A = this chain, B = another copy of it.
């Protein structure tokens, strides 16, 4: 009971509504919500499945967006850190894990909600440890964490457009004939999403390596 109270207070104090005490906990709602396909999740559907009023849900979550954000945050706490290895390779594996996490919610949650969903998840904690052990400062480690998460966000966007036809879009937009966009669209035809993701991560890793070797590292 005490636990539920503190959960309520710490989760969304500003949104907490007055009125009767709900007969359901925040955890019970989250567990039920996780069973829905994201696109079928709605406050009325969830309330119906739990046999509570809409107000019972709104007591904890002010909107569907907030609910999806909480589900994503909860899911992020289950993300498994990859097995130990050299930090350069390990970071890349973390990026793939995070990309999978973001992809899961990319079309159902707004950017702000998804992006903050892994803040201080165990995976991020493991990343900070690995980077510290490799000799990075805590600020550099935090920056690395943000960069890897950013790449994962971008990678999730790419995965959302598996049948993206660059050539058709270029034609549609009537891009000038001498534009490098044509060349890029042509080179994208035989480009694999995973290979491209790995290439981009290699650039970030190279940049991190350079900052580790820089004498002014602070």
Contact = CB atoms under 8 A, between A and B. Distances in A.
Interface of A: 10, 102, 105-112, 114-116, 119-120, 124-125, 128-129, 132, 138-139, 141-144, 146-147, 149-151, 153-158, 160-161, 164, 166, 169-170, 172-173, 175, 179-181, 183-184, 187-188, 191, 196, 199-200, 202-211
Contacts of A191: 139
A210 B48 CA distance: 56
A65 B53 CA distance: 27
In the complex, the 3 A-B pairs of residues with the closest C-beta atoms, listed nearest first: A150-B154, A207-B207, A115-B157
B160 A116 contact: yes
Nearest to A7: B172
A146 B119 CA distance: 23
A201 B172 CA distance: 32
Contact of A175 (B125, B151, B199): B125
Contacts of A188: 142
Contacts of A172: 10
Contacts of A160: 111-112, 115-116
26 contacts: A105-B111, A106-B112, A107-B110, A111-B111, A111-B153, A115-B153, A115-B157, A116-B160, A116-B164, A120-B166, A120-B173, A128-B181, A128-B184, A132-B180, A138-B180, A138-B183, A139-B191, A142-B187, A142-B188, A143-B199, A143-B203, A147-B203, A150-B155, A153-B157, A203-B207, A206-B211
